[in-house]
Structure 1
């Protein structure tokens, strides 16, 4: 029994326990997790769901000739860095994500100039602010999050401006595409760290609980 508990705490499969995901579930994102986890917040699905509709919106605007992958040619050089998959603490990851979302909110000003009535833009701006607030609440030192100054924001928007209207529109679409990827990878990065933290906590609790018995057996 104790061995099974240790295996479960360490994330290893226990004999007789199903390990495959249900049919139709390929990502594992539907796994039940405690609601106090940042990765379990419904805000993620709301903003990722909104930005996921960008590809269809793009294809509706350009039904012929321009393919979605063409946006790779219009990537903004000043895009925020993503959280590495390893060798990065949870605090450092949260800080990078909060700062990255702040930068994306500035970049969305360019999108708004080209597509002021975009519902995707509206949802992206609204839920980005909510997500930043959630991230900061999970940080030990939220005051360490640095944002661009007003002059830096103006310079950033100015740098991606272009006299060619087609180029400006492509840049706007590229920003939305990259924001979607940033959000998806951010959620996965946080989920991975939260899961690892839960496993360590569970393992330590079980070992602490059985340690006195283990000492008696060794006498």
Structure 2
């Protein structure tokens, strides 16, 4: 018996030396263990850093307004300015993702024209320059997510002229208030757009994950 036991022990030691797997050792990676895996960049429009860039620019507008008018004119006063050419925002319900993206692009194209009025009243405005630059990036990113991006086109030169003509006013103060109102409304347009798009993308992602989970259970 001792000789047989020694033989078994010797055999086991030889198998270990040769790298043979031990029967009781777990060979599968535990569920949920992502060691060694790297998460790639998000493909969601709502996760694009362009949002932070453009909203970072427009969010500075209130302070600039208050610094210019020294609280003689309250920022909320701009809410009383009605500009008929302002684009509609995306509603939170009863609107498809595609329709929302289309409205987002259409709205940004209009704001690009309206920003020309801001630029005329405030030629050195850094906020206006940044808003124009990042609006172009956001338009291109949004179009990439659309099924039919060609359905949304830029305004014609005639439409642009008419849009800017409607903003003309002989009163300097009124023109400046209009310019500030455009920047204020652009900020809220962007905030609303990001929230709605985020909601639609996250909801769709959750539904997709749930469907995959149900399929795996079958």
Q: TM-score range by the shorter chain?
A: 0.7 to 0.9
- Quote the Cα distance in structure 1 between the aligned partners of 2:135 and 2:194: 13
Cα shift at 1:116: 0.6
Specify the SS of the correspondent of 2:72.
Answer: coil
How do residues 38-117 of structure 1 correspond to structure 2 at under 5 angstroms?
38-117=45-124
CA shift digits 1:78-118 (9 cap, x unpaired): 11011110111111110000000000000000000000100
Cα shift at 1:161: 1.0
Structure 1 match to 2:161: 154
- Quote the Cα distance in structure 1 between the aligned partners of 2:214 and 2:187: 41
Q: Does 1:200 align with 2:199?
A: no
- Quote the Cα distance in structure 2 between the aligned partners of 1:65 and 1:155: 32
How do residues 121-140 of structure 1 correspond to structure 2 at under 5 angstroms?
121-140=128-147
- The count of residues paired between Structure 1 and Structure 2 equals 180
- Quote the Cα distance in structure 2 between the aligned partners of 1:92 and 1:33: 28
Cα shift at 1:33: 10
- Quote the Cα distance in structure 2 between the aligned partners of 1:145 and 1:90: 15
Structure showing greater Rg: 2
Specify the SS of the correspondent of 1:172.
Answer: helix
- Quote the Cα distance in structure 2 between the aligned partners of 1:206 and 1:57: 50
Does the Cα contact within 8 Å between 1:51 and 1:180 map onto a contact in 2?
yes
How do residues 163-174 of structure 1 correspond to structure 2 at under 5 angstroms?
163-174=170-181
Which deviates more, 38-47 or 147-156? 147-156
When normalised by structure 2's length, the TM-score is 0.80
Q: Does 1:178 align with 2:185?
A: yes
Q: Give structure 1 regions of 4+ aligned residues with deviation exceeding 2 angstroms.
A: none
Unaligned runs of 5+ in 1: 1-31, 212-219
Unaligned runs of 5+ in 2: 1-38
Q: CA RMSD in A?
A: 1.4
Does the Cα contact within 8 Å between 1:33 and 1:40 map onto a contact in 2?
no
Q: Does 1:188 align with 2:195?
A: yes
- Quote the Cα distance in structure 2 between the aligned partners of 1:54 and 1:186: 18
